[in-house]
Chains A and B, each alone.
Chain A
């Protein structure tokens, strides 16, 4: 396999990692909430897609129509019902509560779906590829995945910087007390932020489930990839998160050339390297 192919493959995989990371980044950016259950929520989304496909028989991509709104609703309810109650003071209470959620989700999934590894069959999409010229080919599914990531991040960027809701999200992040005095219901805004975070997680989940197998314990590793993408790219910068995902994907894809086990390790090494050389990430949005 030549270098160009490795790079393209890694970069496209990076789109998926960026989608893992976006929801995590958003909930931390707006609510200072470190969501330890984020990876498990992605896996929950994958199982929701599996169930949707099993019941309706539609193509996995179409399951997005059900899974995305469902996860968004769940996110809003989770935030308003539970997480809002532990916000405001220390960073630690939300970490503990979401850690608890992580365990609950893993065990609930184990109970309902068993420990078997599952996968969403996407038919011709699994093997379809396009010739990019120069003997370089890329799979249609990875390209779709990458395009989805660009659309999601571009859409979120527009939402945050061009709309009233985006201003309210950023204002509530800067100063929730003052945001309240101008009329922003911060508890509702936090609910919406979590709804968006889980909607993005749901998109990532469907692609994850089409691309590889998953099982109830697959969440924590996705969380780790998400953290790494956010930190490599720099906190508070969504396009940076995409670059972070790409770097992580490329590192893994290079590592996989040496040994299948070296794939994950190479990603972690790239992360550690960035942490050593630029602890603030590659493109931090400094504002404090």
Chain B
């Protein structure tokens, strides 16, 4: 009898003290705490995959598209086209806020925690570089959505967006100034520049940052900050590595296609399916093209009844963040501002040669030659309008250029965005305000 008792006592004891930990040590299937370079690459890919599709939405606020009121999604987007940022309908799509900060959360995790656990290697350096670059890109996009256009005179008092660099769920952040946000963007770009290893990313995964993509971002940031020397410098640096243009006289797809020779980085879905379904190109946009000699027209638009649909989007094939042509445009604009008009014209014509038919190009060349600085600047902006139609550039161009008056007709009613309207800066979304009283 005693034997049995002892045996049971032992069994109970061993089972409870030794067996327990092993019994409880279950590595859940499909779950992981990332530590290695391989893990963090997947975390970073997740951040890329979550990058907001805000550029499609900004398109609705521009003079590029008019809405098709017969599409089911119309109700979700019409108030964006009405520039109605407050008191919105329940169905109205919000501009992204939490999705930006969700991406930033992943990047903060990589930068703050991943840097500690990843083994030193070129891969680690590259992951960190991309994380810094993508964080800079996120804040750059956010400050240009929700903050006033950069103006060095007022930037330090203009309201920007809150900067989150730590993982702390209890922090309630105040918005930083536009200047502070740009300072952060530059700090991150500098970090990225120091660490970046890949010169260019191979096609198919060139949604990722590389040295050349980072330079393209630096060029664009300089452009938006009117830092013309830097803009010229960075665009030149990009073009020495990647200056090839797609000749639309022979190309079968638009130059924003991810396989195009022009594609530097292809992360942004600048015209997603919903918005493409919903929109027609405006007569104003269409009228800017010479439908015969401008080879972009047929690659960009397609007749649909009496109107034109935009066909350079609507699928991930047309993802684009930076492409070569933009660098020529930045360079040209910088040269104008630096009073190097002839070089500016020459730079732009390099692109246009690949855009127009031979006779069309000659006509354009002839019209550009006599232009003075302001005439050429206007032409350049029109050419940007044509070149980057529905690629998510227009809203930002309008903001930093003349903030012109735009009229949209919705359900038969005219809605007007006045010149220099405050709504050229988008209100913080309702969901963001609800959870943070400082917004």
A, B: real partners: no
